Chains A and B, each alone.
Chain A
Amino acid sequence: MARPAGANTTSITFNNVAIGSLTLNATAFPNSNGTGTAQAKGSAPVYRDGQCNRFRHRHHGQHHHAVEFNACRSDGSGGSDASPGGDRRDAAGNIVLLSSQKLQWVSSDTARAAVDSAGIVTGVAIASGVSAPQITVTDTESGKSASIGVTVAALLYNSTFESGTVDSVWTTVSLGTSVPLHIEATPIGDRHFLGQLLQQKAILTLNNLSAHSAVTVTFDLFIISTWDGNGGVPPGSSVWGPDIWQLQVAGSQTLLNTTFSNWQ
């Protein structure tokens, strides 16, 4: 493009910019038709973020038809932050760029989840299902808006055992041959974990929980050495097994009752 008469700057608009990392390159030529010896070159990296409202760009006048949320994080633990992501699209489904300053974020229940002007959601109190707060974003220029429900979960316990010490919430009961609870590191990867344990029960006790209706437990189970599944030869015999492992909610239910084998 030609330099405008009597001015040192100009601009160009790129439509339908791909999401992701881009590099803008510019070369200045002395002649208005782009000929002659190049006088200067420049480049700049930019990033078009399609998930969250991070991209700063001048609104270039396209009319956007709808505001859509996509699957940026939609839930978070109490006290932690999350940001619902969203793309702005026109009637044809094309992504429309607009200024973040024109977006207004509102929570339907600030006692459970708050949202700031940048769309960052902070969990305040447990909420899910029908009590899940709605986070609504409105483009004040067009009046278009969209909402999404957020689940706020309370983090009751979280450990990678990288500290090298066993938390006081853990205890053990022997079911045969056992060892004291301890932390080891794996030979490969130096991953600290609770173990190695033997024929015993590792008990995780959490008290003084706030009101809730459901619990989710997630963990990695390491099965090490010569576990034999249901048994030896013939299968089901008690020569080498069965090697049973269980997860139970004390006084309530058994979540897992199975055998494991490492022999391929």
Chain B
Amino acid sequence: MTTCFPKPRRRPIRTTFPGGVHPAQTGATEKNTLGYTFTTSTGPAVVDSVYHLTYTFAHSSSSLELDFNSLQNEGANEFWGLDNVKVTAN
């Protein structure tokens, strides 16, 4: 469970920053299924999402470094994680 100071309930947006604007959780394969809750001014709510992502890119070097970067605005109540990470080459 994740709790913090009550945030006002609002309707922010997701975007392909700084590209087009989309509703929250657009493209998520799962919405509010992991069980993480947050207490807002209207009470506790489950707030999480899962995105299944796949990228293929040209690469021929003998070493590979993938950087998963999180630059979220708040450092105390905005979390993330990775699961089912698979890398293949051909």
Interface residues of A (CB under 8 A from B): 77, 126-128, 151-161, 175-177, 184, 186-189, 191-233, 235, 238, 240-253, 255-264
Contacts and interface: CB of A to CB of B under 8 A. Distances in A.
Contacts of A154: 88-90
A216 B13 CA distance: 29
Contacts of A209: 61-64, 89
> How would you classify the secondary structure of chain B's contact residues: helix, strand, loop or mixed?
strand
Contacts of A224: 2, 34, 36, 47-48, 78-81
Given A186-B34, A214-B57, 16 more contacts: A156-B88, A175-B71, A189-B33, A194-B82, A194-B83, A198-B72, A215-B89, A216-B88, A217-B87, A219-B52, A222-B82, A230-B13, A230-B17, A247-B53, A260-B49, A261-B24
A259 B55 CA distance: 17
Contact of A216 (B28, B77, B87): B87
Given A194-B82, A198-B70, A206 B87 contact: yes
A199 B72 contact: yes
Contacts of B74: 226, 228, 240, 243
22 contacts: A153-B90, A175-B69, A189-B33, A194-B82, A206-B65, A214-B56, A215-B56, A215-B87, A219-B85, A222-B82, A229-B14, A243-B71, A243-B73, A244-B70, A244-B72, A246-B71, A249-B65, A250-B65, A250-B67, A252-B57, A261-B24, A263-B47
Interface size class of B (residues with CB under 8 A): 35 or more
Contacts, number: 339
Contacts of B34: 186-189, 191, 222, 224
A249 B63 CA distance: 11
Given A156-B88, A196-B81, A223-B49, A230 B21 contact: yes
A212 B90 contact: yes
Given A154-B89, A206-B64, A261 B12 contact: yes
Contact of B59 (A77, A215, A222, A247): A215
Contacts of B85: 157-159, 161, 194, 204, 217-219
B81 A199 contact: no
B82 A225 contact: no
* Residue with the greatest number of chain A CB neighbours at <10 A, chosen from B4, B50, B66, B72: B72
Contacts of A262: 24-25, 47-49
Nearest to A207: B63
A17 to B, nearest CB: 37
B80 A245 contact: yes
Contact of A158 (B7, B52, B86): B86
A71 to B, nearest CB: 19
Contacts of A161: 82-83, 85
Contacts of B84: 159-160, 218-220
A209 B60 CA distance: 9
B48 A202 contact: no
